[in-house]
Structures are given as structure tokens and as C-alpha cells.
Amino acid sequence: MDFILTNLAFVIIPFVYMTLVFIGKVIEKNQIFFVVLAIVLSMLAYVIQGQFIEWTIFSGQFSLALFMLVIFAGLMPKKSMYRQVIEPVRGDLSIYGFIYLIPHLAFNFSKMLDGYNIIGLVAYIIMIPLIVTSFRQVRRNLQPKMWLMMHKLSYLIYLLLYLHVGFSFWLSPLSLSIKPLSMPFHITLIFYVSIKMMYMIINMNEKKRAL
């Protein structure tokens, strides 16, 4: 049971994905409505609480599942069904993940004050400009190059999220150790980096051939 709860994001992912298959277009066309809904639900989660909410929202696993859906989309071919489902709502998923982290931060605030896993808070702060520019109204007013340059920070956020979920970090005394039962996240990182490096090598070879 502990293993499942520690890696619950992997269980949540297929359920969210199937939901997006059916209502992804509705979410895409009604961004503000669903953002407000996410804010209301996150506030209700903190008020209502309960075991299920603790497992999914307070643990950060639901937000992590949303972020992982976004991350995986960058690995998939553009014409793949997965990419076609996720790509139109990547920004929306990031916004929802950000919002649902608020109860997670509030629930674990005392731990952060004691210096435990503050890496997550650092990642959250860095996310702010990326989340703001994920709103379509804001993105339309940004130059494409500026938007792309800002969102290069997402790779730093991915790294910080990995450190946050895969390791226990204490400021006082300073220590870093692998979290028990977190192996799926370490395997996922290896898989992600391997695929990214493969794409980089392919792109480099294609550029060389074009010269």
C-alpha cells in the first residue's frame, strides 16, 4: 500500500488522460471557467480534507500526475494520439497542477519551516512566470521567441520536481537521501533523459546531412 501511495501519480495519469480524451476540447475552449473551478475545488479540498484528499491532493500526487502528462507529451511524436490529446491543453494542465499544489504547500508548510524538502517550494516559485504565460490571453501578447525562452525554465522545474519527489532533503542538518519506494520516479527520469538524448542525436545528424 505504501508503494502505491508513494507513486500514486502513475495510477492517476491514465484516468486524467481518458478524461481529456472526452472533454479536452471543452477545457481548451473554456480555460477561465476550468481555472476558476480548479481554484474552488482546491479550496474545498483543504476545507473538507479526508483520507482520499490527503492521498491525492495534500500529497501532491494529483498535481504531479498533471505535470507528468505535460512532460510526457514532449517525448511523443506530433501525430501520435497522446500528443494530439495533450498538446491543446498542456498549458491548462500546468495551471491546474500549480493550483492543486496550494493545498499541498499549506498541508506541508510546517515541514518546510523545519527545512524539509524546500526544493519543492523553490520549484513552485520558479513556476509562477511560466503559469502566468500559460494563459492564452497572456501568451497572445508575448513574442513567440520571448515565450519559448521563458519556458526553457520548465527543464529546471522538471529537475527540481524530480529531486523533490525522489529524495528527502533537509537544510538543518544538511542532508540528501533517496526516498524509500521512489524507484519509479528514478526510472522515469532515466527514460526521459534517454529519449531526449536520442532526439538530440537524430536532430544533429539530420542537420549534418542538410549541410
Highest mean pLDDT among 45-49, 62-66, 72-76: 62-66
- Measuring CA to CA, which residue among 35, 76, 34, 89 is closest to residue 195? 76
Q: What pTM was estimated for this model as a whole? A: 0.91
- Determine the residue type at 168: S
User: Predicted confidence band at 211 (pLDDT cuts at 50, 70, 90)?
Assistant: low
- pLDDT value for 172: 78
- pLDDT value for 167: 93
The residue assigned the cell 495510477 is: 11
Give the dihedral of Cα atoms 10, 16, 22, 25; nearest 10 deg: -120
Burial of 88 (C-beta count, 10 Å sphere; 0-12/13-18/19+): middle
**Quick count: other Cβ atoms within 10 Å of Cβ 12?**
20
- pLDDT value for 100: 95
In tens, the pLDDT along 71-117 reads 999 888 888 999 999 999 999 999 999 999 999 998 888 888 788 88
In tens, the pLDDT along 127-173 reads 999 999 999 888 888 888 888 888 888 999 999 999 999 999 888 78
Task: Report the pLDDT averaged over residues 9-34.
Answer: 96
* Three cell numbers written together for 12: 492517476
Instruction: Determine contact, residues 120/171, Cβ cutoff 8 Å.
Output: no
- Measuring CA to CA, which residue among 97, 22, 1 is closest to residue 57? 97
User: Predicted confidence band at 187 (pLDDT cuts at 50, 70, 90)?
Assistant: very high
Q: Return the percentage of the chain with pLDDT > 90, whole number.
A: 61
Q: What is the mean pLDDT of the chain?
A: 90
**pLDDT tops 90 at residue 29:** yes
- pLDDT value for 156: 92
CA distances from residue 93 to 40, 64, 134, 150, 186 in whole angstroms, order as listed: 16, 10, 10, 18, 23
Coil, strand, or helix at residue 114? coil
Helices (H), 88-179: 90-107, 109-113, 119-132, 136-140, 144-150, 154-166
CA 55 to chain centre: 17
CA 144 to chain centre: 22
User: Predicted confidence band at 40 (pLDDT cuts at 50, 70, 90)?
Assistant: very high
User: Predicted confidence band at 46 (pLDDT cuts at 50, 70, 90)?
Assistant: confident
In sequence order, the 6+-apart residues with CB closer than 8 A to the CB of 66 are 16, 93, 94, 96, 97, 100
User: Predicted confidence band at 189 (pLDDT cuts at 50, 70, 90)?
Assistant: very high
